[in-house]
């Protein structure tokens, strides 16, 4: 492996080492190193007031998408948005502490630095009629609506069934495509 080019890459390398994630894993899966955006805005809130952050462009597109869906009587809820590499590492640490095996964790979570959530343009979307982050979301009217209309707002499903990145199928994970 080449030495890190900058402080961000060095930080990612240290976190990966600490978690026992070899640098070959992201490379073998074709994962992209995502950098945190320079500007994030509030795109929504959880029911307990926690902010969801996205890039300004992704936040604007999300609001248009959500409004259009509501016009068709479809309620979309943001479940997760921007996530720092430190937060990603914390989630993985917690799963390791619960006794989960790293290989299994990396089927549902990207290594820190490689999550689309770091880009500020990815979000997990749900609906009131389904548990968050549940594969059953694909059977909900909200998913059907997204499948037909999300592209119009520059959103696409990142991890379909049998995706090339080795992640489980995530019908809830959508990313805004920048120009």
HSE-CB for 126 with a 13 A CA cutoff = 14
Q: Is residue 88 a contact partner of residue 110, using CB atoms and an 8 Å limit? A: yes
**CA dist 156 to 37, 91, 144, 151, 170, Å?**
19, 25, 13, 6, 12
**CA dist 134 to 4, 33, 63, 100, 137, Å?**
36, 26, 23, 19, 6
Find, among 12, 69, 89, 76, the residue nearest to 44 by Cα.
Answer: 76
Q: What pTM does this model have?
A: 0.92
What backbone phi and psi angles, to 5 degrees, belong to 28? -65, -30
Number of H helices, E strands in the chain: 6, 6
Return the exposure string of 96-121: e unless at least 16 CB atoms fall within 10 Å of the residue's CB, then b. eeeeeeeeebbeebbbbbbbbbbbbb
SS3 114: coil
Q: What is the model's pLDDT at position 179?
A: 67
Cα–Cα distance for residue pair 59/120, rounded to 1 Å: 9
Give 10-residue mean pLDDT values along the chain (179 residues).
74 96 94 95 91 98 98 97 97 97 96 97 97 97 98 97 95 92
> Domains in the chain, ordered, with CATH?
7-176 (3.30.1380.10)
HSE-CB for 20 with a 13 A CA cutoff = 8
Cα–Cα distance for residue pair 20/89, rounded to 1 Å: 11
SS3 79: strand
């Amino acid at each position: 492996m080449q030495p890190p080019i900058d402080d961000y890459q060095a930080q990612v390398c240290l976190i990966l080492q600490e978690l026992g994630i070899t640098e070959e894993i992201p490379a073998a899966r074709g994962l992209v190193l995502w950098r945190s955006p320079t500007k994030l805005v509030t795109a929504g809130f959880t029911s307990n007031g926690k902010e969801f952050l996205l890039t300004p462009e992704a936040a604007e597109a999300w609001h248009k998408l959500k409004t259009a869906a509501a016009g068709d009587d479809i309620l979309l809820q943001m479940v997760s948005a921007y996530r720092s590499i430190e937060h990603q590492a914390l989630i993985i640490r917690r799963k390791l502490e619960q006794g989960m095996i790293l290989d299994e964790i990396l089927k549902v979570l990207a290594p820190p630095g490689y999550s689309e959530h770091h880009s500020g343009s990815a979000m997990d979307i749900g609906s009131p009629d389904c548990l968050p982050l549940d594969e059953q979301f694909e059977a909900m009217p909200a998913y059907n609506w997204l499948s037909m209309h999300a592209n119009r707002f520059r959103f696409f499903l990142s991890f379909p069934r049998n995706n090339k990145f080795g992640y489980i199928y995530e019908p809830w994970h959508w990313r805004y495509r920048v120009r």
